[in-house]
Amino acid sequence: MADRTLVQAIRDALLEEMDRDVRVCVLGQDVGLKGGVFKATEGLQPRFGPDRVLDTPLAESSIAAVAQGLALEGYRPVAEMQFADYIFPAFNQIVNEIAKVRYRSNGDFSCPLVIRAPTGGGVRGALYHSQSVEAYFCHVPGLKVVLPSTPADAKGLLKAAIRDPDPVIFLEPKKLYRAARGPVADGEGALLPLGKAAVVKEGATVSAITYGYLRAVTQEAAVRLEAEGISVEVIDLRTLRPWDQSACLQSLEKTGRVAVIYEANRTGGFGAEVAAELAERGFAHLDAPVTRVASPDVPAMPFSAALEHAFMLNTDKVAAALRRLAEY
């Protein structure tokens, strides 16, 4: 057990999986000598060589296509997109090809690859380095989507994603790369199953379902509301497709009130799917409308620090929304 930041935990997962399985390889722009723009792959090329840690051109569609080819040839590629905002040139390859391999082959072929991408705002990244893209990929059958929020979860879920027989989109909240720190297990002790939510804090008044950067924000809001007599149960989805409907419904049945808290734009965000499913399946247990707490529907994250702050959710905003829900 070691104390690690989130980006260190990701690097540890890659190193351990490459040590464990010679089929695991890493590719992407600047992942080799530079070690990635956030240093998540630092030290891997000197250890495993350029045949297993491949620097690619700045061409996201090609990165995804090469990863697919490697996966179909029996390798376990981990492709890095420098930012989630840059993933769109590869969208056709991911959605129309990678996601459909198992289906179009009637199960004869699988496409075991991982596409990693830093996601979300809060680092003054402005328009093209701050987007939350998870809803695009959660919509697509054939893909799994993971978005961890702690170093332990990042390592355990990335190891599971690399071993999974199907393609996984692995989104990493860049605001937490060095801000999140905690104990992380070594080796097989770190492994976590995909599709299993974490009950971060138990509560009785309101259920708060969240993921990514907003786990920490929601926890802070829950502690604040505890002093007011409002008991908030906090659930971190961790995996978005498939998401843990059972854990969320159990929490809803206990509290009768649920808020879904997510960093992306409110309309069409993945949290809207969670809210709809819970409203449909948990209707008989609801004492208040299912609430979405999300970012505003504006085209992009502003560069201005003041406007970025206004755009993003924080403890005050989340606490106020949960308070209103508890008082409904």
Residues with catalytic annotation?
129
Cα separations in angstroms, 221 against 61, 127, 179? 40, 28, 18
Q: At CA 18, angle to CA 16 and CA 21, rounded to 5? A: 105
Helix (H) or strand (E) holding 119: strand 114-119
From the CB of residue 279, how many other CB atoms can be counted at a distance below 10 Å?
Answer: 14
Collapsing DSSP to helix, strand or coil, 164 comes out as coil
181 - beta bridge partners? 5
User: Measured between alpha carbons, how far is 229 from 327 in angstroms, rounded to an integer?
Assistant: 11
Strand order in the sheet with 232-236: 198-201, 232-236, 206-210, 258-265, 291-295
User: Measured between alpha carbons, how far is 325 from 283 in angstroms, rounded to an integer?
Assistant: 16
